């Protein structure tokens, strides 16, 4: 199975900060990489698809980049509602795998 | 409006069996790829299983041979049959709908989740 490793596992930041989360795949996955946001007690929500596509309704402060094995999710200016856990997901393989998550906390 | 509603969770003894259901509305299960994803308490997301529109099925190694995914097109419902559950199967189980776009698949809709607790 393809292993997905996110870094950091947790992150403290302030409103207005620029934040970057990294996701690395154990093998090349082209651009078959998606990002989700999850808040406590809620289902995950799709933010970014195919490495850099912004899902409809998601604010433009969210952006994604990368290809092959290395990917990033960037939040350009953190808002209070952005404090949540973020997961990357590879869909290159029929056996889908997620990263372990990055918990974004208020500093 | 697309909706996914999971039911069937609860307390189950190790070695028992349980069937989860996910009733869909706003689209047809038969013509879409569907999946189950779980989340153990305080842990991350784990993909469990998928069923394609063709009927092909796929499983994570951790559940292969114990869980079975299926669908009832007439009921527009997805199922997950859980046999011989273990304590480590305790989790919130989500069903999710795949979307195909830009040459890629991703989960565009999720249910609210149903909690399964495996304990004697």
Picking from B54, B47, B62, B55, the residue whose alpha carbon sits closest to that of residue B107 is B47
Chain B contact probe: residue of A96, A99, A101 with most B CBs at under 10 A: A96
Does the structure show a pLDDT above 90 at A63?
yes
| Element housing B43 (H / E) | none
Q: Which residues of A touch B62 (CB under 8 A)?
A: none
Task: Quote the minimal CA–CA distance from B45 to chain A in Å.
Answer: 6
The 10 Å CB-count burial string (b at 16+, else e) for A50-70 is: bbbbebeebeeebbbebeebe
pLDDT at A13: 96
pLDDT value of position B61: 96
Confidence of residue B100 (pLDDT cuts 50, 70, 90): confident
Read off the pLDDT of each residue in B43-72 and give the average, rounded to a whole number: 97
Q: Write out chain A residues lying below 8 Å of B112, CB-based.
A: 43
Q: Is the pLDDT of residue B102 over 80?
A: no
pLDDT in tens, B14-52: 989 999 999 999 999 999 999 999 999 999 999 999 999
B45 touches chain A (CB under 8 A): yes
Q: What average pLDDT is seen over chain A?
A: 97
* Chain B residues with CB-CB distance to A91 below 8 A: 104-106
CA dist A34 and A71 (Å) reads: 10
For chain B, give the mean pLDDT: 96
Contact at 8 Å (CB) between A13 and A107? yes
Verify whether the Cβ–Cβ distance A34 to B106 is below 8 Å: yes
pLDDT at A104 over 80: yes
- Return the pLDDT at A12: 96
Is the predicted pLDDT of residue A71 greater than 80, yes or no? yes
With beta carbons under 8 A apart, name residues in chain B contacting A101. Answer: 44-45
Q: Is the pLDDT of residue B69 over 80?
A: yes
- The Cα–Cα gap between B69 and B59 comes to 9
Q: Do A50 and B47 touch (CB under 8 A)?
A: no
């Amino acid at each position: 199975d393809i292993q997905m490793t996110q870094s950091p596992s947790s992150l403290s930041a302030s409103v207005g900060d620029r934040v970057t989360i990294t996701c690395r795949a154990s093998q090349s996955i082209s651009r078959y990489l998606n990002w989700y946001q999850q808040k406590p007690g809620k289902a995950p929500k799709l933010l970014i698809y195919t490495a850099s596509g912004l899902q409809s309704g998601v604010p433009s402060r969210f952006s994604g980049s990368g290809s092959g094995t290395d990917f990033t999710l960037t939040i350009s200016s953190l808002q209070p509602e952005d404090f949540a856990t973020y997961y990357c997901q590879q869909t290159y393989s029929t056996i889908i795998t997620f990263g372990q998550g990055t918990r974004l906390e208020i500093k | 409006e697309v909706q996914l509603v999971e039911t069937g969770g609860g307390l189950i003894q190790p070695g028992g069996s349980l069937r989860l259901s996910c009733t869909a509305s706003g689209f047809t299960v038969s013509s879409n790829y569907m999946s189950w994803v779980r989340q153990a308490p305080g842990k991350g997301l784990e993909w469990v299983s998928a069923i394609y529109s063709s009927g092909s099925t796929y499983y994570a190694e951790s559940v292969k041979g114990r869980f079975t995914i299926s669908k009832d097109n007439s009921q527009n419902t997805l199922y997950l049959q859980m046999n011989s559950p273990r304590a480590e199967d305790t989790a919130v189980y989500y069903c999710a709908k795949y979307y195909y776009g830009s040459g890629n698949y991703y989960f565009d809709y999720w249910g609210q989740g149903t909690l399964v607790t495996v304990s004697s």
